[in-house]
Structure 1
Amino acid sequence: MRPRLPHTVTASALAVSLTVAAAFPAAAAATPSAARSGAAATWGGTEAQRAQPSWLQQRAQLQRLARKLVAVGAPGVIVRVDDGRGRPVEIVAQAPWTRRDHLLKAGDEFRMGSNTKTMTATLVLQLVAEGRLALTDPVEKWLPGKVPNGGAITLRMLLNHTSGLFDYTEDAAVRPSILGTDRRRWTPAKLLAVGVKHDPLFAPGTKWSYSNTNYAAIGAVLERVTGTSLADLVRDRIVRPLGLHHTYYATDSTWRGPHAHGYEPDAARMPPGVPAEFRRFAGARHHGHVDVSANDPGWGGAAGAVVSTTRDWSRFSTALLSGKLLPAAQLAQLRTTVPVDPRQPDGPGYGLGIQTGTTPCGTFWGHDGGLPGYLTVGVADRTGGRTATVLIATESWSEFGTDPKIAKAAQALQTSVICAMFGKPVPAAAHGG
């Protein structure tokens, strides 16, 4: 929410990767097999049982951790894990005070935030496969005069965040929209114009720095090349072919189906660590919180405006990583990563709209997203045969690091979700209690 769509617990790198790495401080550098053999499991039973937790064990563990997260302050949690064995685990936990707004269900729609970038990158790669775009195209080719030094910035640099462009969500002009107090309609071109008003952070291609302006530029390119809106591109090229009945690119604040309500603390309960300019959200108030569900996510644009459900997102992830949406050559480009931290060249990496990280339970691919009221993580294995999605119905705590209790409980849940996705027990060193 601190206007950086994907950053959650940490301010310097990708939340999923670093959360999991922090949860395995001693084992993160070990191979998965070494970690499993050297750490005690938390599921109980025989050694063979611990090697592959049962559906009931997975569900009980995740249910306990989701309820604990709600107990320490999260208004709601939805979890879906499919370990490829035929019966996904779906978990819902909800604070009692939120039930008067909506009874949370596993199939509810919610705002995906920066997970949108994976869909946006998929659209680009589809056009690359059709010969209509090339990853080596300079942005100047498609948006002449719109991006300073655009002749040196390629579409690949935009997609993998190596362009050096300033993040438009750090500009005060966008802040009222983030808070829900300004209902103006943002187009990719307008968001791009905000971002490029600022000096670049570094020369193109020399470093990595997450910037939503990259995807505003990509959104403008997509609309220019196709003559079609982003909402229609998402619908026609991804949603309809895959039968995603509750997934869409939001063009205003309305929802199309039952949806999870997202909340942030009201001004009186906002922790002192939150800057003054981010303490007052628009929305109905009760129980010390603001319901931000009716606020327009349009300021997220191609970087963060998609709405989906855990079930739909699992189907999308499977289709993408199994090669249903992209030919093999473009799927390989999607998975070609750059390190997000130069001090860890073999650490977490960012591809084209997708991130990856290695844990003792396995190497995951996916993204995360955060905007007011909605913190989401969507991950899968390399081929999309295993998937998992987590929604936490509040987000400011992660942007500003203001609630250690929620952070600890969220980390424990995310760690267990990834291990459950791989059908493995959580090593004792990472057990959230």
Structure 2
Amino acid sequence: MSAHTLSLRHRIRRGALITALATCMGAALVSCSDGAGPAAEQSVASPAADAPLARLAQQAADTGSLGVIVRVDSGDGKPVEIARQAAWTKDDHRLAADDRFRVGSNTKTVTATLVLQQVAENKISLDDTVEEWLPGLVESGEDITVRMLLNHTSGLGDFLLTPEFLPSLTGQEKRTWTPQELLAITPGQDPPAEPGEKYSYSNANYEALGLILEKATGSSLTELIKEKITGPLGMKDSYLATNGDWDTAETTEKQHVTGYEPDAERLRAILSGTVDLPEGVGFAGPERSGDNIDTSAIDPSWSWAAGGMVSTARDWQTFLTALNSGELLPMAQMKQMRTTVNAPEEGGGYGLGLMKVDTACGTVWGHTGGLPGYSSEIYTDASGRRSVAVLTSTNFGIKEEKAATANKALVEAASCQMLGEPQPSDNPAG
């Protein structure tokens, strides 16, 4: 997410395979789609008004995004909801705009909100050290503060970069990881950085924050999310995943989106020039059309406070709108959350669990998310009254050049429509 690209999902960062795989967490293709059925044609606003956005969504789906959900709320009470997909994916799942989706690292904004609520109640201080809360669990914890965990300046690397964890990320190994185990295999940054020295995105930061929250409150993270966020906001389709069994998780009649990734050969080609991927290394799951793998069964529970939530476009926009309009945090904590460090790889800056992204049409606030088979970008304007969500049913698949271009055009157009600005002049459907 150019310097103003909307998501880190469109980049392969830091020049290593496992680093590239880290973008899965807070980025000759399929055949063109035929006419979509009713579920894939959802649109609430005027057909003429959102036709260009719908065309971009279908173009993105056919070019490699595979499945796309777009929801734009311009604050006028008439949200646009669009669901488009490549034709062959309909055999797995007829996509609808209100389907449940793994929102990945967008979860970090919820975790940060919960921490800042405790800060407002003087139960946690941003200047508390990790060692005070989690003695002996994090290397150099006596020099790392809660604030550094929140804005990714802790100096910690990412457990995603380790050979111990890679088989679980790709689904080749079925193992239940605890946050403590993940922190135990977390390396320092490469090259090394002192706590507070520089921004470097790490899921380990939020695993530690989840443990601090549970210790400070005496409640589980699942309970805190229900009590402080999803319950009060009426987010009935949002929950923290504890396994990969979507049929027996907290269920409603809502479907769960099927996610896909390129097979081992395509993945190797995508990463060619960045890293030499060992032959045969790829995601586990059933083979699908266009050299894709169905990754829906890969267990995301390891991502926990860093990326474990399942939601819908509407539910997550409800959360972000409440947050950025001041409903969930006092003004002092909202100001702290929006105090950013420079994070050009995210398209702007990173606050306390909140990204500031400079788009072609203005600044937006929110986060990105990614897990195997799922990527998302969800933002509001500064007031929180306008919001946009773009959910895509692949992560590495949109790193191929044509797919990345089409997906970027869609996100830019949706963001501009949310902000009430004309689509970018170079937009193919503008």
Report the TM-score when normalising by structure 2.
0.84
Cα offset, 1:254, TM superposition: 2.2
8 A Cα contact 2:116 2:333, kept in partner: yes
Closer/same/farther in 2, CA of residues 130 and 315 from structure 1, 3 Å limit = same
1:282 aligns with 2:284: yes
Matched to 2:170, the amino acid is: L
Deviation string 1:37-85 (CA, Å, 9 cap, x unpaired) is xxxxxxxxxxxxxxxxx95444111100011011212221000000111
Closer/same/farther in 2, CA of residues 57 and 334 from structure 1, 3 Å limit = farther
Matched to 1:367, the amino acid is: H
Closer/same/farther in 2, CA of residues 227 and 305 from structure 1, 3 Å limit = same
Closer/same/farther in 2, CA of residues 362 and 296 from structure 1, 3 Å limit = same
Cα offset, 1:385, TM superposition: 0.3
Task: Please give the alpha-carbon distance, in whole angstroms, between the structure 2 residues aligned to 1:180 and 1:58.
Answer: 42
Matched to 1:158, the amino acid is: L
1:265 aligns with 2:252: no
DSSP-derived class of the 2:357 partner: strand
Task: Please give the alpha-carbon distance, in whole angstroms, between the structure 1 residues aligned to 2:8 and 2:93.
Answer: 27
Cα offset, 1:310, TM superposition: 0.2
Closer/same/farther in 2, CA of residues 258 and 341 from structure 1, 3 Å limit = closer
Cα offset, 1:182, TM superposition: 2.2
Closer/same/farther in 2, CA of residues 339 and 431 from structure 1, 3 Å limit = farther
8 A Cα contact 2:62 2:85, kept in partner: no
Task: Please give the alpha-carbon distance, in whole angstroms, between the structure 2 residues aligned to 1:171 and 1:277.
Answer: 18
1:248 aligns with 2:250: no
DSSP-derived class of the 1:228 partner: coil
- 5+ long unaligned stretches in structure 2: 1-6, 15-44, 272-276
Deviation string 1:144-180 (CA, Å, 9 cap, x unpaired) is 1111221211100000011110111111111111111
Matched with 1:89 is 80
Matched with 2:366 is 366
Deviation string 1:2-53 (CA, Å, 9 cap, x unpaired) is xxxx83112459xxxxxxxxxxxxxxxxxxxxxxxxxxxxxxxxxxxxxxxx
Matched to 2:396, the amino acid is: S
Matched with 2:101 is 110
Task: Please give the alpha-carbon distance, in whole angstroms, between the structure 2 residues aligned to 1:131 and 1:382.
Answer: 27
Matched to 2:348, the amino acid is: P
Matched to 1:89, the amino acid is: V
8 A Cα contact 1:58 1:89, kept in partner: no
1:295 aligns with 2:298: yes
Matched with 1:393 is 393
Matched with 1:38 is none
- 5+ long unaligned stretches in structure 1: 1-5, 14-53
Most deviating of 331-340 and 188-197:
188-197
Task: Please give the alpha-carbon distance, in whole angstroms, between the structure 1 residues aligned to 2:206 and 2:49.
Answer: 36
Task: Please give the alpha-carbon distance, in whole angstroms, between the structure 2 residues aligned to 1:429 and 1:61.
Answer: 13
Matched to 2:156, the amino acid is: L
Most deviating of 325-334 and 286-295:
286-295
Task: Please give the alpha-carbon distance, in whole angstroms, between the structure 1 residues aligned to 2:158 and 2:73.
Answer: 34
8 A Cα contact 1:413 1:432, kept in partner: no
Matched to 1:166, the amino acid is: G
Deviation string 1:185-206 (CA, Å, 9 cap, x unpaired) is 2222222112147778301111
Matched with 1:380 is 380
DSSP-derived class of the 2:332 partner: helix
Task: Please give the alpha-carbon distance, in whole angstroms, between the structure 2 residues aligned to 1:227 and 1:205.
Answer: 28
Question: Equivalent residues in 2 for 1:7-406 (5 A)?
Answer: 7-12=8-13, 55-196=46-187, 201-255=192-246, 256=251, 257-274=254-271, 275-276=277-278, 279-287=281-289, 288-341=291-344, 348-398=348-398, 401=399, 403-406=400-403
Cα offset, 1:269, TM superposition: 4.3
8 A Cα contact 1:166 1:196, kept in partner: yes
Closer/same/farther in 2, CA of residues 335 and 198 from structure 1, 3 Å limit = closer
8 A Cα contact 1:373 1:395, kept in partner: yes
Matched with 2:27 is none
Matched to 2:164, the amino acid is: A
8 A Cα contact 1:159 1:214, kept in partner: yes
Report the TM-score when normalising by structure 1.
0.83
Matched to 1:418, the amino acid is: S
Task: Please give the alpha-carbon distance, in whole angstroms, between the structure 2 residues aligned to 1:147 and 1:326.
Answer: 28
Cα offset, 1:427, TM superposition: 3.0
Cα offset, 1:183, TM superposition: 2.3
Closer/same/farther in 2, CA of residues 90 and 277 from structure 1, 3 Å limit = farther
Task: Please give the alpha-carbon distance, in whole angstroms, between the structure 1 residues aligned to 2:190 and 2:262.
Answer: 34
- Equivalent in 419, 423, 431 of residue 420 of structure 2: 423
Task: Please give the alpha-carbon distance, in whole angstroms, between the structure 1 residues aligned to 2:360 and 2:369.
Answer: 23
Cα offset, 1:94, TM superposition: 1.0
DSSP-derived class of the 1:165 partner: coil
8 A Cα contact 1:192 1:217, kept in partner: yes
Matched to 2:341, the amino acid is: V
DSSP-derived class of the 1:72 partner: helix
Matched with 2:26 is none
Matched to 1:235, the amino acid is: K
DSSP-derived class of the 1:235 partner: helix
Most deviating of 162-171 and 248-257:
248-257
DSSP-derived class of the 1:132 partner: coil
Cα offset, 1:135, TM superposition: 0.6
Cα offset, 1:390, TM superposition: 0.5
Task: Please give the alpha-carbon distance, in whole angstroms, between the structure 2 residues aligned to 1:264 and 1:397.
Answer: 6
Closer/same/farther in 2, CA of residues 312 and 414 from structure 1, 3 Å limit = same
Cα offset, 1:250, TM superposition: 0.5
8 A Cα contact 2:264 2:279, kept in partner: no
Task: Please give the alpha-carbon distance, in whole angstroms, between the structure 2 residues aligned to 1:114 and 1:8.
Answer: 11
Tell me the number of residue pairs that the alignment of Structure 1 and Structure 2 aligns.
382
8 A Cα contact 1:59 1:89, kept in partner: yes
> RMSD over aligned Cα, in angstroms?
2.2
Bigger relative contact order, structure 1 or 2 (CA pairs below 8 A, ≥6 apart): 1
Cα offset, 1:271, TM superposition: 5.0
Cα offset, 1:404, TM superposition: 0.4
Task: Please give the alpha-carbon distance, in whole angstroms, between the structure 1 residues aligned to 2:280 and 2:242.
Answer: 24
